[in-house]
Amino acid sequence: MLPIVQVGDPVLRARAAPVAVADLPALAPLIDEMRETMRAAPGVGLAAPQIGRSLALAVIEDTPQLHSGLTPEQLAARERSAVPFHVLVNPTLTPVGDEIVDAYEGCLSFKSFVMIVRRWRSVRVEAHDEHGAPITIEATGWYARILQHEIDHLNGIVCCDRMDPRTLSTSENHAKFD
Ligand code: ZN
């Protein structure tokens, strides 16, 4: 597992450099390490700046095992369902519609804290996969939230930039009081 950079490190504030498709084969070991680091954390997404690499590259995966602490009602309220592992290279994001959703989210670079962050309910993402093939993703609900969170990281934005500041809480207190 790679060490995860915490908020305050300038790498999280830099705009990540675009990845040349020709460089992707050489980046395969890094992508494998990012996947294993995300799974071990555990998290539903990890952007390259979070492991100290300023590259426009992120991995995403939301597994049913990560839903074990949530009731079916909570999963439905979050519009959360499993997302298979995939890689985003040089993603761009466009909101779809104008619905917004407020929900608590956390970040592996903002360890032990959660906060309410306002996000688009639906988004479209254009990117390349790890083989350089163009991909288009249409997502709603929690998956759309994950995409916005990870793509923010590639633009030097951290979730606290978008939070409702009065909702900042330790994870422990969130479980206790919310
Ligand atoms: Zn994050």
For the chain, the domains span 10-177
163 close to 22: Cβ distance less than 8 angstroms = no
Mean pLDDT for the stretch of residues 26-34: 98
- The fraction of the chain above a pLDDT of 90, given in percent, is 98
b/e code 79-97 from CB counts within 10 Å (16+ = b): bbeebeeebbbbbebeeee
pLDDT tens digits along 127-153: 999 999 999 999 999 999 999 999 999
Closest CA to 145 of 168, 117, 126, 164: 117
The confidence score (pLDDT) of residue 131 equals 97
Please report the sign of the dihedral spanned by the C-alpha atoms of residue 5, residue 9, residue 13, residue 16: negative
**Mean of the per-residue pLDDT values of the chain:** 97
Ligand 1 centroid, distance to 153 Cα (angstroms): 7
Strands 134-140 and 122-128: antiparallel
Active site residues: 150
Ligand 1 centroid, distance to 133 Cα (angstroms): 25
CATH T-level assignment (fold) for domain 10-177: Peptide Deformylase (3.90.45)
Distance of CA 35 to the CA centre of its chain: 12
pLDDT tens digits along 106-121: 999 999 999 999 999 9
Instruction: Give residue 163's pLDDT band: very low, low, confident or very high (50, 70, 90).
Output: very high
Mean pLDDT for the stretch of residues 161-167: 97
Distance CA(174)–CA(22), nearest Å, equals 44
The confidence score (pLDDT) of residue 173 equals 96
pLDDT exceeds 90 at position 1: no
Torsion from C-alpha of 63, 46, 101, 9, nearest 10 degrees: 150
Q: Which residues contact 72 (CB under 8 A, 6 or more apart)?
A: none
pLDDT exceeds 90 at position 178: no
Ligand 1 centroid, distance to 97 Cα (angstroms): 24
Ligand 1 centroid, distance to 59 Cα (angstroms): 11
**pTM for the full predicted model:** 0.97
Distance CA(102)–CA(120), nearest Å, equals 9
pLDDT exceeds 90 at position 44: yes
